[in-house]
């Protein structure tokens, strides 16, 4: 005789302190989850309203309410495991089974009709022991939070009956009230006062005890040969771990000096770049000096007079115009000195000034005569030169 499958509907109160935990669990955002979740099947879960459940809840809440007010009601829609196993035990295939998909659509349709605009989240879980749908709704009646009325026993029984009517076409029977079965649903609660967390921990302990008993039973059935294989495997794992740690230490020992060497090379590269920049500057200065020296030598060879102040970067061999102002008498000692070139005018030191005629000292006892063109300033003698008899006009 085949076992009957039941349509199952459960309710849970969600307060502000547990709202985040409920949403996190439903959307698999938490790293700490229930022990019966299979990570390999998470991709089969479906979120029908998408992210933002918290914002949708907050948008419906009244501006003033008690701190411990119930801000949402979680309704779980599912069926007996036999119903789903009868359709398809493989979850990948079950997720595509047309009868299962029809049950999902029918359940969602009932939830939308029941909760209307108060419905804020709907998620299908395929990665737990039995497929089920989480429905979150805000318990509003005429704009007021009325969780007490929404969660009244009469209302809970009404919803269980009406949900059964919506899905009975799949061969499901009405579920037996929890007061009769004494069964507790394992939920994910953060509020220590609600007792949900303690219930989950107890359920985990019960599961762990059952697993331990099963393993103890299996261990008695194992032969000494099987146990030897396990111990050998454990020894291999330990050896591999030790080898890994050894390789890790070697890698660190190799990488550390390389990092230091790279840092040193970066410093050297920076220094070389600075030296190259300085060499480039020195080269430019050398080229400039070579050009000036070349012009100077050309002027020395031609004997062409030069200006005292050079207006251009490139020195040109241009004759100096004769001064338009009268030339003053020049002492006889300077009568036979050569005429200055532009280079002489640029680098010579004035030791005598006679009107616009300037005697320049070029070093090593050499003197030249420079005529300052009209419109250019006549240099002033230093105090020491004046004391020697030089005249400054």
Q: Return the minimum-mean-pLDDT range out of 45-59, 116-130, 270-284, 293-307.
A: 293-307
Q: Is residue 209 part of a domain?
A: no
Q: Is residue 1 part of a domain?
A: no
Which of 277, 302, 327 is the last residue before a domain boundary? 302
Q: Give the pLDDT band of residue 194 (cuts 50, 70, 90).
A: very low
Domain count, the chain: 3
Q: What is the pLDDT of residues 26-63, one digit of tens each?
A: 998 876 556 678 889 999 999 999 999 999 999 999 98
Count CB neighbours of 145 within 10 A. 20
Average pLDDT, integer, range 12-25:
90
List the CATH number of the domain containing 79.
3.30.930.30
For residues 278 and 179, the model is more confident at 278
- 29, 149: one domain: yes
- 131, 248: one domain: no
Cα within 13 Å of Cα(316), Cβ side: 6
Alpha-carbon span 138 to 150, nearest angstrom: 10
- 31, 176: one domain: yes
- 293, 340: one domain: no
Q: Is residue 85 part of a domain?
A: yes
Alpha-carbon span 128 to 91, nearest angstrom: 10
Cα–chain center distance at 70:
37
Domain that holds residue 347: 304-393
Which of 136, 163, 188 is the last residue before a domain boundary? 188
- 340, 364: one domain: yes
Which of 287, 302, 317 is the last residue before a domain boundary? 302
Q: Is residue 197 part of a domain?
A: no
- 121, 239: one domain: no
For residues 34 and 199, the model is more confident at 34
For residues 21 and 222, the model is more confident at 21
**Letter string b/e over residues 187-226, b meaning 16 or more CB atoms within 10 A of that residue's CB:** bbbbbeebebbeebeebeeeeeeeeeeeeeeeeeeeeeee
For residues 223 and 359, the model is more confident at 359
Average pLDDT score over the chain = 81
3-class DSSP assignment, residue 37 = coil
Q: What is the pLDDT of residues 361-388, one digit of tens each?
A: 998 889 999 999 988 899 888 765 545 5
Considering the chain, what percentage of its residues have pLDDT values greater than 90? 47
Considering the chain, what percentage of its residues have pLDDT values greater than 70? 74
Identify the CA nearest to 317 among candidates 289, 336, 297: 297
- 106, 165: one domain: yes
- 239, 358: one domain: no
For residues 101 and 38, the model is more confident at 101
pLDDT for 326 beyond 50 = no
Q: Is residue 73 part of a domain?
A: yes
pLDDT for 116 beyond 90 = yes
**Model-level pTM?**
0.48
- 254, 374: one domain: no
3-class DSSP assignment, residue 358 = strand
- 21, 164: one domain: yes
Q: Which pairing describes strands 173-174 and 6-15: parallel, antiparallel, or unpaired?
A: parallel
Average pLDDT, integer, range 323-338:
72
- 234, 331: one domain: no
pLDDT for 339 beyond 90 = yes
- 331, 293: one domain: no
Q: Give the pLDDT band of residue 82 (cuts 50, 70, 90).
A: very high
Residues whose CB falls within 8 Å of the CB of residue 347, separated by 6 or more in sequence, listed in order: 362
């Amino acid at each position: 005789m085949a076992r009957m499958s039941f349509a199952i509907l459960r309710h849970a109160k969600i307060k502000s302190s547990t709202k985040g935990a409920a949403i996190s669990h439903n959307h698999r955002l938490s790293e700490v989850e229930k022990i019966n979740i299979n990570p390999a099947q998470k991709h089969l879960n479906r979120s029908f309203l998408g992210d933002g459940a918290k914002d949708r809840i907050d948008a419906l809440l009244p501006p003033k309410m008690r701190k411990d007010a119930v801000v949402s009601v979680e309704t779980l829609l599912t069926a007996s495991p036999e119903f789903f196993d009868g359709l398809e035990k493989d979850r990948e295939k079950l997720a595509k089974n047309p009868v299962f998909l029809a049950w999902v659509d029918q359940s969602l349709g009932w939830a939308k009709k029941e909760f209307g605009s108060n419905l804020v989240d709907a998620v299908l879980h395929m990665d737990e022991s039995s497929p089920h749908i989480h429905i979150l709704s805000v318990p509003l009646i005429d704009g007021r939070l009325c969780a007490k009325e929404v969660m009244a026993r009469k209302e809970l029984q009404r919803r269980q009956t009406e949900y059964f009517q919506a899905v009975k076409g799949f061969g499901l029977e009405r579920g037996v009230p929890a007061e009769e079965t004494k069964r507790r649903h394992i939920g994910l609660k953060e509020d220590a006062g609600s007792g949900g967390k303690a219930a989950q921990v107890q359920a985990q302990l019960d599961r762990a005890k059952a697993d331990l008993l099963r393993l103890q039973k299996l261990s008695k059935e194992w032969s000494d040969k099987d146990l030897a294989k396990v111990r050998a495997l454990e020894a291999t794992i330990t050896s591999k771990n030790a080898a890994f740690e050894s390789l890790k230490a070697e890698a660190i020992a190799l990488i550390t000096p390389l990092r230091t060497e790279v840092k040193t090379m970066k410093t050297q590269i920076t220094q070389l770049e600075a030296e190259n920049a300085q060499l480039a500057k020195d080269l430019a200065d050398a080229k400039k000096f070579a050009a000036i020296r070349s012009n100077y030598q050309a002027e020395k060879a031609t004997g062409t007079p030069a200006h005292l102040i050079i207006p251009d970067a490139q020195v040109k061999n241009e004759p100096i115009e004769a001064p338009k102002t009268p030339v003053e008498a020049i002492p006889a000692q300077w009568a036979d000195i050569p005429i200055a070139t532009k280079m002489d005018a640029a680098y010579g030191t004035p030791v005598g000034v006679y009107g616009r005629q300037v005697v320049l000292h070029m070093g090593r006892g050499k003197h030249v005569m420079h005529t300052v063109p009209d419109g250019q300033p006549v240099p002033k003698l230093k105090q020491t030169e004046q004391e020697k008899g030089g005249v400054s006009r």
